Amino acid sequence: MIGISSKTIYAIAALQELDSIPDDKVLKIKEIAANASIPQNFLEQILLELKKQGLLTSIKGAHGGYKLAKSLKDITLKDVVLILESDIFADNYQTDSQALKFFWDDIKQKVSAVFEIPLSELKNYQLKANQILNYSI
């Protein structure tokens, strides 16, 4: 996907997995990795960054793991992208042309608006996927 790294794609998959558990439960990295088909070593780095930025909480110990710090309706795709991508929304246009600056500002605003989708929308896409699966059986 243009402009989105595997890191962000894996982060969204991990957040979706964590949204599927009850609020009083946690998932271990191993479980998230297996359920979402994410390389475990890579996932550890992603989850630590999401935790550091306040999207996740963790519990240490034998019964520990990760859970969402807030609802997916309060987390946007843009939140995750800004945490994990280097400068996707940067203002570094490297041009002296005012017309090009206006052009890139306009593009940035439009792209930014698209990324404002709350991750709670994943449930709608899951329902759509389930309908397709049920139809084809």
The predicted pLDDT at position 104 comes to: 84
Looking at the structure of the chain, the number of domains it has is: 1
Residue 1 within any structural domain of the chain:
no
Tokens of 14: 């991990």
Q: Is the pTM of this model over 0.75?
A: yes
Q: Coil, strand, or helix at residue 7?
A: helix
Indicate whether 21 pLDDT > 90.
Answer: yes
The predicted pLDDT at position 58 comes to: 96
CATH code for the domain in which residue 101 is found: 1.10.10.10
Residue type, 100: L
Question: What is the extent of the structural domain holding 40?
Answer: 6-136
Residue 33 within any structural domain of the chain:
yes
Q: Which tens digit of pLDDT belongs to each residue from 96-134?
A: 888 988 998 888 888 888 889 999 998 888 888 888 866
Q: Coil, strand, or helix at residue 124?
A: helix
Question: 125-134, long-range: CB within 8 Å, 24+ apart, which pairs?
Answer: 126/16
